[in-house]
Structure 1
Amino acid sequence: MAGYRDLLRTPGVGRMIAAQLTARFPSGMASLAILLHVEQQTGSYGSAGLVLAATSVGQAVSGPVTSRWMGVWGMRRVLTLTAAVCTLAVLALGLLPLNVAGYMAFGLIAGLSTPPIQSAVRTIYPKLVNSSQLTPLFSLDASLQEIIWILAPVAITLVSTQIGTTEGLILVAIVLVLGCGWFILSPEVGRVRIPRSRRALGRVLLKPPVALATAIGFLVIGACSAVEVGVVATFEHGSLQAGVVLGIFACGSLVGGLSFGHIPIGPWAMARRLIIVTVGLALTMVMLNAYWLGGALFLAGLGVAPALAVLFAITTASVKFSETAEAFGWAGTGQLIGAAAGSAIAGFLVDGTGGPQGAYLAAVLFAIVGVTVSVIFVRALPDLRDRDPSPFPDTEPVAVTPS
């Protein structure tokens, strides 16, 4: 922890972490707020699911595009525009009398305009710290983001169920404005300029570490989403036990990230961390007792944030600085698709098997594939133990006048 204290004393680091967590807090509130509101207005969970799907599609499509725009027009302009449009779309969802098609349209707009905060902050980090601090910073970031998934669903559920679903969406809009405003106005956002990328959109995925980070992120988040379905199916919708068990899962990730964040990242780091996740998830299939599930998921969680930290580090270390935002945008898209796939597959298996074991099986299979991919393609993963994990500098040819 002394290392993290030193890290947080570095000028700008503490402010950036706090601002980006606040700006991203609505991401942990919006889906549940939309689900509760649309279901209440239409009386159909199916309709609410369609609206959430439209929102997720928008987020998946926009991630790489808006991240790349930051190198063209600057971070502040892109973040301000997307935050403004997203806020208006969320308010429209809450305040306008819409049919299902209207909800889907504004959900799609909200998804397409989701501010690329993750891409921005992970592009800024290498400019705030020296190379030896970058890996611990990514680990701290991956760990602290669990706070969002612990607190945000509780907050939005309380507001939406005790006050109203419209008020819940208004709260999402307020936090979005305040959080993004804090982040956008931070001095570091104004000081860091992303060079314009000279490569075509998507070319960064041809770099093996970036492609692997996107694929493994898909699998890790897919496993986590399947777990969520399994826990809700185990304890039934609205049960306090479900929230507690999922909170323990997130706490395990927080503890793991803080405990293992100082460990140097070698080619086998991803496989080792995903083995921890796989073992913990496999134990969930032994019994469905709340205490057993809590312990198994805490163990699984110990590997989640450290695995995500590896993803962030290998992405940064494998691209030019001008490509970092787009690379993180693709990684975010992979994770969003993984979340949708994990939830869908787990849901079908729960219905097909007649019990939550199907969801836990889906989570284990996602994790096993993640370990397998990490082992098969280990040669493509960079060794950062004795290497600067910062992005490569952008260089341009210099014109020379003949003498």
Structure 2
Amino acid sequence: MPTLPTPSPSSKQTSARTPGYRQLLRTPGVWAFVLPGFAARQPFAMLTISLVLLVEHTTGSYGTAGAVAAVTGVAMALCAPRGGRLADRFGQRAVLVPGIALHAASVGALVTLGLAHAPTWALFAAAIPTGATVPQVGPMVRSRWAVALDCGSARPSSLAQTAAAFESVTDEFTFVIGPVLATALCTGVHPAAGLIAEATLTLAGGSLFAAQRKTAPLPHRVAPGSDSRRRSALSVRGVRALVIAFLGIGAVFGGMQVSITAFTEEAGHPGLSGVVYGTFAAGNMLAGVAYGAVRWRRSPRRRLLVAYAALTLACVPLWAVQALPVLAVLGLVVGLCIAPTLITGYTLVDALVPAATRTEAFTWLTGAVALGQAAAVTVAGLLADHAGSRAGFTVPLTGTAVALVMLAGLRGHLVPTPRNVVTGGVIGHRRAVTVD
């Protein structure tokens, strides 16, 4: 009769230590994808705000600008998981190389149509391939971390949460730089300069990242008719619950971008929109640094619910703001509440899905953020046009409040399912998991 597995002394010693960023970055081979990955994801932080600024300049409407940006976000949300699934099956380079070329060409077409004052339907048509081809570098980097830390093993690495925190910090650092750079280019150089820079950086950074073959996960090819080929990461109930949570986070990003841009213009300081949004992103980044350095005793599920409730409460006073300094402070507070939610969600993915669908699972979460952002920029843009920027700030609150209620109802799905472990090639048993 097989006996239940017990932790080895070495694993006990490992769990007794608090994993840190220094230990994480000493993992062999990680620098080969960390630096190119940062360069390759920078353009994504510039896309939405550059698009909003260009279309608003040429049409004079935040509603139209938000709608075009929304089409881009929806196209990305719908196509990103498919791209992630193809990357799992055929390799990241096979998907990334043609993707960055198509994205740059689509952005070029969108810029040309915008400057030519093309009809709105033409902008929508160009926005579809622009969003559909956004390189999913963030999920690809997270998959490389999982391989480097061997998160697909029966006992995931204790550094998995630290890696998720590091990626959140990296993402938000790009969102500190990206909006400021895009705004400066669009307001100080040319309204199309932000999108042109985005396309150029996509080609350069994406090519550099795709060239790092040694750190890429191996393709998970399966035999025709295999069940693993038919199953999507979205078939996991926990992933579906996280998608709802990340839709609400997307509502915060989208609502903040459009509303901050409209607020600074109403205040007579349009050039400060990138700075104010950068403050919001800086809060996210700082919280990510702190969150990843703490050894948490509470379960990820409970931490996710607490963090989401805090995020919802932080969005409450936004609609009443009347001064730019106050908006910057409130944006910082909201940013501080986002990182714990993102980090915990991405940490849960490693425990919820098998390695063969990991990149796809990450892209479902990224796509959910994009979809929530798309809906938010549309609604916030319309509200800003008809009722002023303060009305647009109700969008982050509404999005997070609805998602929090649904997430609380689905919290039972966030308990990882134990994976089968085969002993001696004959008998399989399951490892015990801790639940609330």
Q: Report if TM-score (shorter chain) is over 0.5.
A: yes
Is residue 330 of structure 2 the alignment partner of residue 296 of structure 1? yes
Aligned pairs, number:
390
Of the candidates 95, 108, 114, which is equivalent to residue 128 of structure 2? 108
Of the candidates 102, 114, 119, which is equivalent to residue 139 of structure 2? 119
Specify the alignment match of 2:98 in structure 1.
Answer: 81
Give the direction of change, closer, same or farther, for the CA distance of 1:394–1:43 in structure 2 (3 Å limit): farther
CA displacement at 1:198 relative to structure 2: 4.2
Higher mean C-alpha displacement, 98-107 vs 319-328: 98-107
Give the direction of change, closer, same or farther, for the CA distance of 1:219–1:294 in structure 2 (3 Å limit): same
**Which aligned pairs between 1:118-197 and structure 2 lie closer than 5 A?**
118-129=138-149, 131-190=157-216, 192-196=218-222
Partners of 2:45 and 2:421 in 1: how far apart? 35
The letter of the residue matching 2:346 is F
Give the direction of change, closer, same or farther, for the CA distance of 1:361–1:38 in structure 2 (3 Å limit): closer
The letter of the residue matching 2:30 is V
Give the direction of change, closer, same or farther, for the CA distance of 1:394–1:289 in structure 2 (3 Å limit): farther
Give the direction of change, closer, same or farther, for the CA distance of 1:371–1:324 in structure 2 (3 Å limit): same
**Which aligned pairs between 1:338-349 and structure 2 lie closer than 5 A?**
338-349=372-383
Kindly indicate whether the alpha-carbon contact (under 8 Å) linking 2:239 and 2:349 is maintained by their aligned counterparts in 1: yes
**Which aligned pairs between 1:218-297 and structure 2 lie closer than 5 A?**
218-236=247-265, 238-261=269-292, 262-264=294-296, 265-285=299-319, 287-297=321-331
Partners of 1:50 and 1:360 in 2: how far apart? 17
Specify the alignment match of 1:401 in structure 2.
Answer: none
Q: Deviations over 1:244-265 (max 9, x none)?
A: 3322221111111111123434
Of the candidates 233, 243, 261, which is equivalent to residue 204 of structure 1? 233
Kindly indicate whether the alpha-carbon contact (under 8 Å) linking 2:232 and 2:357 is maintained by their aligned counterparts in 1: no
Q: Deviations over 1:165-205 (max 9, x none)?
A: 45543322221111111111114444533444844667432
Give the direction of change, closer, same or farther, for the CA distance of 1:54–1:358 in structure 2 (3 Å limit): closer
The letter of the residue matching 2:350 is T
**Which aligned pairs between 1:352-367 and structure 2 lie closer than 5 A?**
354-367=387-400
Give the direction of change, closer, same or farther, for the CA distance of 1:70–1:241 in structure 2 (3 Å limit): closer
Partners of 2:304 and 2:289 in 1: how far apart? 16
Unaligned runs of 5+ in 2: 1-17, 151-156, 426-436
CA displacement at 1:122 relative to structure 2: 1.8
The letter of the residue matching 1:155 is L
Kindly indicate whether the alpha-carbon contact (under 8 Å) linking 1:183 and 1:189 is maintained by their aligned counterparts in 2: no
Higher mean C-alpha displacement, 39-48 vs 108-117: 39-48
CA displacement at 1:63 relative to structure 2: 0.6
- Identical pairs, percent: 25
Partners of 1:43 and 1:295 in 2: how far apart? 29
Of the candidates 366, 369, 375, which is equivalent to residue 402 of structure 2? 369
Partners of 2:256 and 2:64 in 1: how far apart? 23
Kindly indicate whether the alpha-carbon contact (under 8 Å) linking 1:350 and 1:356 is maintained by their aligned counterparts in 2: yes
Higher mean C-alpha displacement, 259-268 vs 80-89: 259-268
Partners of 1:85 and 1:241 in 2: how far apart? 32
Give the direction of change, closer, same or farther, for the CA distance of 1:159–1:324 in structure 2 (3 Å limit): same
The letter of the residue matching 1:219 is G
Specify the alignment match of 1:5 in structure 2.
Answer: 22
Higher mean C-alpha displacement, 288-297 vs 141-150: 288-297
Higher mean C-alpha displacement, 313-322 vs 50-59: 50-59
TM-score normalized with structure 2 length: 0.79
Query: Helix, strand or coil: the match of 1:145?
Result: helix
Query: Helix, strand or coil: the match of 2:158?
Result: helix
Is residue 58 of structure 2 the alignment partner of residue 25 of structure 1? no
Higher mean C-alpha displacement, 356-365 vs 219-228: 356-365
Partners of 2:261 and 2:50 in 1: how far apart? 17
Partners of 1:69 and 1:208 in 2: how far apart? 21
CA displacement at 1:13 relative to structure 2: 2.5
Is residue 84 of structure 2 the alignment partner of residue 67 of structure 1? yes
Q: Deviations over 1:112-169 (max 9, x none)?
A: 2222222322222111125111111101111221122221122223233333345543
The letter of the residue matching 2:413 is A
CA displacement at 1:339 relative to structure 2: 0.5
Partners of 2:112 and 2:66 in 1: how far apart? 19
Kindly indicate whether the alpha-carbon contact (under 8 Å) linking 1:95 and 1:166 is maintained by their aligned counterparts in 2: no
Q: Deviations over 1:331-359 (max 9, x none)?
A: 2221111102222333444456x344433
Partners of 1:194 and 1:10 in 2: how far apart? 23
Give the direction of change, closer, same or farther, for the CA distance of 1:315–1:166 in structure 2 (3 Å limit): same
Q: Deviations over 1:341-381 (max 9, x none)?
A: 222333444456x3444333332232223333333322222
Partners of 2:270 and 2:410 in 1: how far apart? 41
Kindly indicate whether the alpha-carbon contact (under 8 Å) linking 2:181 and 2:274 is maintained by their aligned counterparts in 1: no
Is residue 342 of structure 2 the alignment partner of residue 308 of structure 1? yes
Partners of 1:343 and 1:191 in 2: how far apart? 35
Higher mean C-alpha displacement, 48-57 vs 295-304: 48-57
